Chains A and B, each alone.
Chain A
Amino acid sequence: MVEKMPILEFSKVALSFGDTEVLKEIDLVLESGKFYTLLGPSGSGKSTILKLISGQLQADAGKIFFEGQVINDVPAEKRRVNTVFQNYSLFPNMNVFDNVAFGPRLKKMSEKDIQDKVKEMLGLVKLSGFERREISELSGGQQQRVAIARALANDPEVLLLDEPLSALDYKLRKELQQELRNIQKRLGITFVFVTHDQEEALAMSDWIFVMHDGLIQQNGTPEDIYDEPINHFVADFIGETNIVPGIMKHDYLVHFVGKDFENVDAGMRPNERVEVVLRPEDLDLTDPANGKLVVTIQDQLFRGDYYEITAVDDDMNTWQVQATNPATVGARVGLTFDPEDIHIMRYNESEAAFDARLESYEDEEAEAALQAAKDDQSQSGGQG
Chain B
Amino acid sequence: MKKIRTPYLIVMFLILYLPILYLVFYSFNAGTTMKGFAGFSFKHYGELWQDTRLIDIVFETGIVALLSSLLATIIGTLGALAIFRVHRGAVKGALLSLNNVLLVSPDVIIGAAFLILFTTFKFSLGFVTVLLAHVAFSIPIVVLMVLPRLQEMNPDLVLAAQDLGARPTQVLGQVTIPAITPGIVAGFFMALTYSLDDFAVTFFVTGNGFSTLAVEIYSRARQGVSLEINALSALIFLFSLVIAVAYYFINRLNQRQKAPELREKVK
Q: A93-B179, A107-B165 are known contacts. Are A85 and B160 too (CB-CB below 8 A)?
A: yes
Contact B161 A102 (CB under 8 A): yes
Q: Does A56 contact B (CB under 8 A)?
A: yes
A91 / chain B contacts, CB cutoff of 8 Å: 157, 160-161, 174-175, 178
B259 / chain A contacts, CB cutoff of 8 Å: 136
Which of A203-219 touch B at CB < 8 Å? Answer: none
Task: Report the contact-size class of chain B (Cβ under 8 Å from the partner).
Answer: 20 to 34
A83 / chain B contacts, CB cutoff of 8 Å: 159-160, 163
Contact B165 A136 (CB under 8 A): no
Q: Does B258 contact A (CB under 8 A)?
A: yes
- A150–B167 Cα distance when bound, in Å, is 17
Contact B159 A77 (CB under 8 A): no
B164 / chain A contacts, CB cutoff of 8 Å: 77, 82, 102-103, 106, 150-151, 154
Contact B156 A136 (CB under 8 A): no
B170 / chain A contacts, CB cutoff of 8 Å: 106
Q: Does B260 contact A (CB under 8 A)?
A: yes
Q: Does A76 contact B (CB under 8 A)?
A: yes
Task: Please name the residue on chain A nearest to B175 by beta carbon.
Answer: A91
- A346–B162 Cα distance when bound, in Å, is 45
Task: Please name the residue on chain B nearest to A133 by beta carbon.
Answer: B260
Which of B157, B159, B165, B257 has a CB less than 8 Å from the CB of A106? Answer: B165
Task: Report the contact-size class of chain A (Cβ under 8 Å from the partner).
Answer: 20 to 34
Interface of A, helix, strand, loop or mixed by DSSP:
mixed
Q: Does B166 contact A (CB under 8 A)?
A: yes
- A134–B178 Cα distance when bound, in Å, is 15
Q: A77-B167, A106-B164, A150-B164 are known contacts. Are A89 and B258 too (CB-CB below 8 A)?
A: no
Tell me how many residue pairs across A and B have CB atoms closer than 8 Å: 64
Shortest distance in angstroms between B233's beta carbon and chain A's nearest beta carbon?
40
Q: Does A54 contact B (CB under 8 A)?
A: yes
Contact B160 A136 (CB under 8 A): no
A93 / chain B contacts, CB cutoff of 8 Å: 175, 178-179, 181
- A198–B196 Cα distance when bound, in Å, is 62
Q: A91-B175, A93-B179, A106-B170 are known contacts. Are A76 and B162 too (CB-CB below 8 A)?
A: yes
Q: Does A92 contact B (CB under 8 A)?
A: yes
A82 / chain B contacts, CB cutoff of 8 Å: 163-164
A61-105 vs B: 1/0 string, CB under 8 Å? Answer: 000000000000000111000110101011111000000001100
Shortest distance in angstroms between A71's beta carbon and chain B's nearest beta carbon?
15
Which of A92, A103, A137 has a CB less than 8 Å from the CB of B165? Answer: A103
B257 / chain A contacts, CB cutoff of 8 Å: 134, 136
Which of A76, A87, A103 has a CB less than 8 Å from the CB of B156? Answer: A87
B177-214 vs A: 1/0 string, CB under 8 Å? Answer: 01101000000000000000000000000000000000
Shortest distance in angstroms between B167's beta carbon and chain A's nearest beta carbon?
6
Q: List 16 A-B contacts (CB under 8 A).
A: A56-B159, A76-B162, A77-B165, A82-B163, A83-B160, A83-B163, A87-B156, A89-B156, A90-B160, A92-B179, A106-B165, A106-B166, A106-B170, A134-B257, A151-B163, A151-B164
The 4 closest A-B pairs by CB, nearest first: A93-B178, A89-B156, A103-B164, A89-B160
